[in-house]
């Protein structure tokens, strides 16, 4: 009997709840940390980025207007689905990042826990960053956080799952929709997360995942007038590129989370910074009733 | 490909005054038109839709499409304020860019014609008014004529009438013909656009017959739809109508315009129509006098594409007026 041939996978993008091929028709080979072939991934072009922004914009009203409780439940569900695919994530994180089995398991568990942690903030963040303000007049005056809009997220290049979760979950939990560019060399956990999102209760278009070179899609996202904020975590350490993207983002005054000098240690306690970076404060004056 | 009417020998022999002399001869002529190749028409339209229009050609197409738009609002909730806002957008679609051409016309209900006329002043933008009991057309001929006269008296340059689809489908071609002729008379100097409402005509053969019928009756432009019935304008239907105006000019020497309306929202769609016009009727029709888009949301998409081509950045709807 002949030896069984392995099925070589060719993954696609995740845009608007569907898995389309790149508009460019291009794909690239993904290898493990030792250079062995793992799979083919789609190589997103600027038109894919444009389509992803359109999908995110379309999904924004539904997601931002869902109740905080509902959003939290949906995000918990994502964590449940991640747990179900734990073995796959361990495999992919291990081979992508060159980690042994036990270390890969630890990273995946941490990523799932991180997702749960952020999901829990959904109906609590308003209590922490919102306020009722003392004013000198017969008014109730209170401030509430609202989502910024469509957020472009350049996911970290090294930490393929924990880093990705740490930048994506805080964007979604506030009610924003996201267009994510994954790590170029380590896209498989991001692709698997796309499959998780597609099979959980997250509405199509709320999170969109592009694989390929950051340099191909990031300038489009940074200059796109219908993107309201951008997280530059994925160009950490590349000052020149980060500055260009920041300049492009000025045209419509995007909120920018700047690229750190080097990729941070994602296992550290995250804090609320990444949630509040993508929230706007609305203050309401309401006459005191008689 | 469907055969060209000019090639059909019977038509060369037919004198058009004979055709319209009686209901029987009209019916004989309309039913003697060659049948539309259903599959062929759809394949042709789909094939032309794959043409890639880029860079300078795209820039040209976008500006041409903007100048061909009949900026339309036909809602029960229309107010004079909304019409005035639309008129100012029609004259200068992108306030931040004076190089954007004005649209061809604004299209409103008859009671708002005077408002639009006043708002447009001496601008080149024309005022079009729907009339004749739009959108169903189910009123008496007297009412339709009065409706038309009132719109024209208020300052409409163009009148968009609907045909009596009931009469057409029942085969009362003479009645449809007489009605269009009567409304044409009521129009005076105003241009008459006749809406076939192709979504209710069921077949391409009916579209071809209706096109010829209304052209014979004196229409200046044939228009696909009211926008109130789905499906509205489609590429194959527009193809059939473009063939009709082409063949009509070959036969009679009179050039008739075409206006697809309803459901055209994206720049890509508009460019597909322009390709279709160029390849079917020819370059002579690539002008606002001879081809129009009945649309409202299309304009913002064209403006966004135009800005993208100039700045290199994708544009966002936040930076254009809401309609």
Per-residue model confidence as pLDDT tens digits over B222-252: 999 999 999 999 999 999 999 999 999 999 9
Mean pLDDT over each residue of chain A, to the nearest integer: 96
pLDDT of residue B11: 55
Residue B25 lies in a domain: no
> CB A225 to CB B316 under 8 A?
yes
Backbone φ and ψ for A284, nearest 5 degrees, come out as: -120, 135
Token pair 């489009």: residue: A220
- Tell me: pLDDT of B13 over 60: no
Distance from C-alpha of A20 to C-alpha of B91, rounded to nearest angstrom? 40
Whether the pLDDT of residue A95 is over 90: the answer is: yes
Q: Would residue B9 count as lying in a domain?
A: no
* pLDDT of the residue at A7: 87
Mean pLDDT, chain B, whole residue set: 93
Q: B312 at the A interface (CB within 8 A)?
A: yes
Share of chain A above pLDDT 90, in %: 97
* Residue B316 within a domain: no
C-alpha–C-alpha distance, residues B56 and B66, integer Å: 15
What local confidence, expressed as pLDDT, does residue B21 receive?
A: 86
CB A200 within 8 A of CB A50: no
What integer is the mean pLDDT of B126-142?
Answer: 94
The reported pLDDT for the residue numbered B6 is: 47
Across the interface, whether the CB atoms of A223 and B312 are under 8 A apart is answered yes
Mean pLDDT of A199-204: 96
Q: Which of B89, B220, B223, B269 is an active site residue? A: B223
Helix axes A162-173, A188-199, angle to 10 degrees: 40
Residue A47 Cα distances to A39, A88, A194, B270, angstroms: 23, 30, 19, 19
Q: What number is the average pLDDT over the span B210-226?
A: 96
pLDDT tens-digit series, residues B264-297: 999 999 999 999 999 999 999 999 999 999 999 9
Cβ of A224 within 8 Å of Cβ of B317? The answer is no
Choose, from B126, B259, B269, B301, the residue flagged as catalytic: B259
DSSP state string for B22-35: SHHHHHHHHHTSPP
Q: What is the mean pLDDT of residues A143-149?
A: 97
How far apart are the C-alpha atoms of B61 and A12, rounded to whole Å?
33
Model pLDDT, residue B9:
43
- Tokens for A104? 């890969």
Within a domain: B106:
yes
Distances (CA, A) of B153 to B71, B191, B220: 21, 13, 19
CA distance A67 to chain B (A): 25
Domain span at B215: 37-311
Structural tokens at position A61: 């009203």
Say whether pLDDT at A289 is over 90.
no
The chain B residue lying nearest A54, using CA atoms, is: B316
Q: Averaged over B153-177, what is the pLDDT?
A: 95
B16 pLDDT above the threshold of 80 = no
Q: Is residue B140 part of a domain?
A: yes
- Known active-site residue B223: yes
Distance of CA A57 to the CA centre of its chain: 15
Query: Per the CB < 8 Å rule, is A225 touching B312?
Result: no
pLDDT score, position B201? 95
- Each residue's pLDDT tens digit, A55-68: 999 999 999 999 99
Within a 13 Å sphere around the CA of A178, how many CA atoms are in the beta-carbon half? Answer: 27
| pLDDT value, residue B150 | 96
In the sheet that holds A139-147, the strands lie side by side as: A131-132, A139-147, A279-287
* Residue B2 pLDDT > 50: no
What domains lie within chain A, and their CATH numbers?
38-287 (3.40.605.10)
Answer yes or no: are the C-beta atoms of B223 and B68 closer than 8 Å.
Answer: no
Total count of domains within chain B? 1
What is the distance between the alpha carbons of residues A184 and A189, in angstroms, rounded to a whole number? 11
Catalytic site residue B160? yes
In a domain, B277, yes or no: yes
Closest CA to A149 of A255, A283, A14, A284: A255
Predicted local confidence at residue B14, as pLDDT: 61
Distance from CA of A56 to the nearest CA of B (A): 13
Q: How confident is the model at residue B4 (pLDDT cuts 50, 70, 90)?
A: low
pLDDT at A54 over 70: yes
CA geometry: angle B290, B291, B293, nearest 5 deg: 150
Mean pLDDT of A16-44: 96
Write the ipTM: 0.87
Exposure of A59 by Cβ count < 10 A (0-12 exposed, 13-18 middle, 19+ buried)? buried
Q: Is residue B279 part of a domain?
A: yes
CA distance A27 to A12: 9
Q: Is the pLDDT of residue A92 over 70?
A: yes
Residues in chain A: 290
Distance between CA atoms of residues B286 and B257, nearest Å: 10
Q: With a cut of 70, say whether residue B7 has pLDDT above it.
A: no
Q: What is the pLDDT of residues B298-312, one digit of tens each?
A: 999 999 999 999 999
| Residue B105: closest CA among B257, B211, B268 | B257
Total CB pairs under 8 A between chain A and B = 26
User: Which has more confidence, B16 or B116?
Assistant: B116
Closest in A220, A226, A248 to B316, CB measured: A226
A17 Ramachandran zone, left/alpha/beta (phi>0; psi -120 to 50): left
Q: Which two tokens stand for residue B36?
A: 């539309």
SS3 for B202-255 is CCHHHHHHHHHHHHHCCCCEEECCCCCCCCCCCHHHHHHHHHHHHHHHHHHCCC
- pLDDT confidence tier of residue B3, bands split at 50, 70 and 90: very low
Query: Measured between alpha carbons, how far is A209 from A196 in angstroms, rounded to an integer?
Result: 12
- Spell out which residues of chain B touch residue A245, defining contact as CB-CB under 8 Å: none
Mean pLDDT of A164-182: 98
| Residue B6 counted as domain residue | no
Answer yes or no: are the C-beta atoms of B257 and B221 closer than 8 Å.
yes
Quick one: tokens of B207?
A: 């579209």
């Amino acid at each position: 009997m002949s030896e069984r041939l392995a099925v070589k996978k060719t993954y696609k993008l995740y845009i608007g709840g569907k898995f389309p091929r790149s508009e460019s028709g291009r794909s690239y080979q993904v290898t493990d940390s030792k250079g062995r072939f793992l799979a083919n991934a789609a190589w997103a072009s600027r038109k894919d980025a444009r389509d992803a922004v359109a999908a995110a914009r379309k999904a924004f009203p539904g997601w931002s207007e869902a109740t905080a409780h509902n959003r939290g439940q949906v995000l918990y569900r994502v964590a449940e689905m991640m747990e179900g695919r734990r073995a796959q994530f361990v495999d992919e994180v291990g081979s992508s990042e060159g980690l042994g089995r036990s270390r890969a398991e630890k990273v995946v568990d941490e990523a799932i826990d991180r997702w749960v942690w952020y999901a829990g903030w959904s109906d609590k963040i308003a209590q922490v960053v919102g306020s009722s303000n003392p004013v000198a007049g017969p008014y109730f005056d209170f401030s509430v956080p609202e989502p910024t809009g469509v957020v472009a997220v350049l996911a970290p290049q090294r930490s393929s799952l924990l880093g990705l979760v740490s930048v994506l979950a805080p964007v979604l939990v506030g009610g924003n929709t996201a267009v994510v560019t994954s790590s170029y060399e380590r896209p498989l956990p991001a692709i698997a997360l796309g499959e998780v999102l597609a099979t959980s209760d997250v509405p199509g278009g709320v999170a969109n995942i592009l694989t390929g070179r950051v340099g191909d899609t990031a300038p489009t996202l940074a200059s796109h007038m219908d993107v309201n904020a951008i997280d530059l975590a994925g160009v950490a350490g590349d000052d020149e590129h980060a500055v260009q993207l920041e300049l492009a983002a000025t045209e419509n005054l995007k909120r920018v989370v700047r690229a750190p000098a080097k990729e941070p240690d994602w296992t550290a306690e995250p804090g609320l910074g990444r949630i509040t970076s993508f929230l706007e404060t609305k203050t309401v004056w309401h006459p005191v009733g008689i | 490909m469907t055969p060209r009417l000019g090639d059909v020998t019977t038509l060369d022999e037919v004198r058009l005054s004979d055709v319209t002399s009686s209901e029987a001869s009209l019916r004989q002529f309309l039913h003697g038109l060659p049948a539309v190749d259903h599959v062929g028409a759809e394949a042709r339209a789909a094939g032309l839709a794959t043409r890639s229009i880029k860079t300078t050609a795209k820039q040209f197409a976008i500006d041409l499409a903007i100048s061909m738009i009949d900026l339309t609002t036909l809602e029960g909730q229309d107010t004079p304020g909304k019409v005035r806002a639309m008129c100012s957008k029609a004259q200068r679609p992108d306030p931040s860019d004076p190089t954007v051409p004005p649209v061809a016309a604004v299209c409103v209900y008859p009671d708002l014609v005077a408002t639009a006329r006043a708002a447009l002043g001496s601008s080149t933008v024309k005022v079009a008014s729907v009339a004749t009991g739009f959108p169903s057309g189910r009123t008496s001929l007297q009412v339709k004529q009065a409706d038309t006269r009132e719109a024209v008296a208020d300052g409409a340059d163009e009148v968009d009438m609907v045909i009596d689809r009931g009469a057409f489908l029942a085969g009362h071609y003479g009645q449809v013909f007489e009605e269009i002729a009567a409304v044409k008379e009521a129009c005076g100097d105003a241009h008459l656009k006749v809406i076939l409402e192709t979504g209710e005509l069921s077949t391409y053969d009916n579209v071809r017959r209706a096109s010829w019928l209304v052209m014979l009756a004196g229409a200046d432009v044939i228009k696909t739809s009211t926008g109130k019935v789905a499906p509205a304008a489609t590429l194959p239907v527009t193809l059939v109508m473009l063939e009709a105006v082409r063949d009509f000019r070959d036969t009679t020497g009179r050039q008739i315009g075409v206006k697809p309306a309803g459901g055209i929202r994206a720049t890509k769609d508009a460019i597909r129509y322009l390709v279709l016009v160029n390849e079917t009727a020819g370059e002579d029709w690539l002008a606002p006098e001879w081809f129009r888009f009945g649309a409202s949301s299309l304009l913002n998409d064209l403006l966004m594409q135009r800005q993208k081509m100039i700045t290199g950045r994708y544009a966002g709807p936040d930076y254009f007026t809401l309609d």
